[in-house]
Structure 1
């Protein structure tokens, strides 16, 4: 199979011909229809994730068809169209049995713990616990983002922060996951303020439902927080940091309402210094969101199928495998608005 491949962290990847995988016991091999380019992939390539072993094939957002079924798989067959959360649970531990596979201590992650979906085929372990059926009439553009950015945003807003209709949410960082968060907040009936340093990203945020925007270029965290409050006319009940930078996280925390809820989605390259005095003094709840278990996907898929949530609108570029190495390197230098779809 053809795949995007690297042998050392930070080294420019290349497209290589690699041996095709075999379905493991309990798992499947999927023919990849489409996959996504995500900042988490850049973190894996840069060496920021301890679970990544070399050599490596990245990629963790995908849709495709089952090509091989391993021994012991009961619920799935060849030819079915599926997606999967990027965090796959073992299906046996206490966390998986309680419906929280996203924090399974024995989790696997395509593109992190094993070769990922920037390839013509990818392996998914514990298939009966981790695959999600995909309607035939949903285009790949509407499905790929559900594996990571939309699922993480949906869980963060709906399951963790319990965002309510009519509340205000501020989203700091309008890359792929930030724009996904804005789209979901709108679908849930909330008012949103979008924050970024790029006018193009803010234009997309308005297009996807942001009621107000703040250009934070050159502003200190407290100034960004003040601008959020001014734009919204109130302190937001929920804040979301979707970039993974200390200054943007603190801007969100400084803006949050007393007793507010902060959702941290952005991954950090290094441990941040946090505005903890405000967290303590204003009793702000801080939630992490790192994927969503497959068992919770039907609600999200139904939202997409109904048209209330339109992930396909987020796709602004489609590329092939040969273009991926350049796109990955570029991701460390600048963030393109919207989402890049890869068709192997």
Structure 2
């Protein structure tokens, strides 16, 4: 099969022929119809993930068709349209028994713990635990965007953030996760302040329901946190760092009102340096500081129902599609070029 492969961190990947994968006894091989280009893929390519062994094929947001099935798989057959969370659970540990598949102690992640979906085919383990059926009316490109960014944002806003209608929600960083969070919070009836330095990202955030947009590079000495407090009349009830940097994490916490909730979604690699959160405010104002790490396959149905009804429109997040041959350059550019929506790779194009 053809796949995007890199042999050294931070050096240009290339498209080459590699051996086809085979399914594990409890796994499947999926023919990749679409796969998202995510900033997490860039973090892996840049050397920020200790799970990666070189040479490596990135890619963790995917949708496609089951091509081959291991002998122990019960619920899936060749030809099924599927997607998968980026955290693939083992299904048998204590965390999985509690329903917390997204923090499975023995989790695997395509594109990180093993070769991923920037390829024509990808192997996925524990298929009966992790695969999600893709409705016929959902395109593969839209379904691919669900597995990491949209599903991650959905759980961060709805389950971890406990959003309520009428609340103020601040979203720091309006890439794929952030724009998804804007759309989901607005659909829940919240009023959203979107924070991003890129004009295109702020424009999309407004289109997806943001009441206010803030350019953190253009505000006064108090920065984005003060701007959020002023726009919301005292601070956000819920704030998300959807980018992942010391500055955005601190601004998210500092922009909350008393008893507000901060959810950290964006990755903070060690290379970013120490993160200084205003813990005196966390204590004095009884703030909550929460993490959010994907969403388990069994939690997809409510989100898919909102997508099916048209209440949520993840298809609008897909702003570009590219062929597999264009993926190496697009991956490398994510460290410097501001994103606008979600780019999806079509390996068969």
TM bucket normalised to smaller: over 0.9
1:258-285 CA-partner distances (Å, limit 9, x unpaired): 1110010010122422222221221111
Q: Bigger CA drift: 40-49 or 279-288?
A: 279-288
1:222-233 correspondence runs (5 A):
222-233=222-233
SS of the residue corresponding to residue 42 of structure 1 reads helix
Mapped partners of 1:290, 1:187: distance in 2: 22
SS of the residue corresponding to residue 150 of structure 2 reads helix
Mapped partners of 2:197, 2:35: distance in 1: 27
Aligned length: 344
Query: Which residue does 1:338 correspond to in 2?
Result: 341
Query: Which residue does 1:42 correspond to in 2?
Result: 42
- State whether structure 2 residue 162 is matched by structure 1 residue 162: yes
- CA shift, 1:222, in A, is 3.3
- CA shift, 1:221, in A, is 7.9
1:240-263 CA-partner distances (Å, limit 9, x unpaired): 001111111111111101111001
SS of the residue corresponding to residue 178 of structure 2 reads helix
Q: Bigger CA drift: 230-239 or 163-172?
A: 230-239
Mapped partners of 2:218, 2:334: distance in 1: 21
SS of the residue corresponding to residue 317 of structure 1 reads strand
- CA shift, 1:224, in A, is 1.3
2:281 to 278, 285, 293: 278
Query: Which residue does 1:9 correspond to in 2?
Result: 9
1:171-191 CA-partner distances (Å, limit 9, x unpaired): 011111100100110121111
Going from structure 1 to structure 2, the CA distance change for 1:221 and 1:258 (only over 3 Å counts) comes to farther
Query: Which residue does 2:330 correspond to in 1?
Result: 327
The answer as to whether partners of 1:221 and 1:247 remain within 8 angstroms in 2 is no
Mapped partners of 1:220, 1:317: distance in 2: 34
Unaligned runs of 5+ in 1: none
Mapped partners of 1:223, 1:37: distance in 2: 30
The TM-score with structure 1 as length reference comes to 0.98
Query: Which residue does 1:299 correspond to in 2?
Result: 302
Query: Which residue does 1:204 correspond to in 2?
Result: 204
1:106-134 CA-partner distances (Å, limit 9, x unpaired): 00000000000000000110000000001
The answer as to whether partners of 2:35 and 2:141 remain within 8 angstroms in 1 is no
Mapped partners of 2:145, 2:233: distance in 1: 32
Moved over 3 A (4+): 218-222
- CA shift, 1:93, in A, is 0.5
The answer as to whether partners of 1:238 and 1:262 remain within 8 angstroms in 2 is yes
SS of the residue corresponding to residue 237 of structure 1 reads strand
Mapped partners of 1:136, 1:277: distance in 2: 51
Mapped partners of 2:10, 2:221: distance in 1: 30
Unaligned runs of 5+ in 2: none
The answer as to whether partners of 1:221 and 1:251 remain within 8 angstroms in 2 is no
Mapped partners of 2:15, 2:39: distance in 1: 19
The answer as to whether partners of 2:58 and 2:115 remain within 8 angstroms in 1 is yes
Quote the RMSD (CA, aligned, Å). 1.2
The answer as to whether partners of 2:321 and 2:345 remain within 8 angstroms in 1 is yes
1:1-44 CA-partner distances (Å, limit 9, x unpaired): 10000011111100010000001110000000100000000011
Mapped partners of 2:242, 2:221: distance in 1: 15
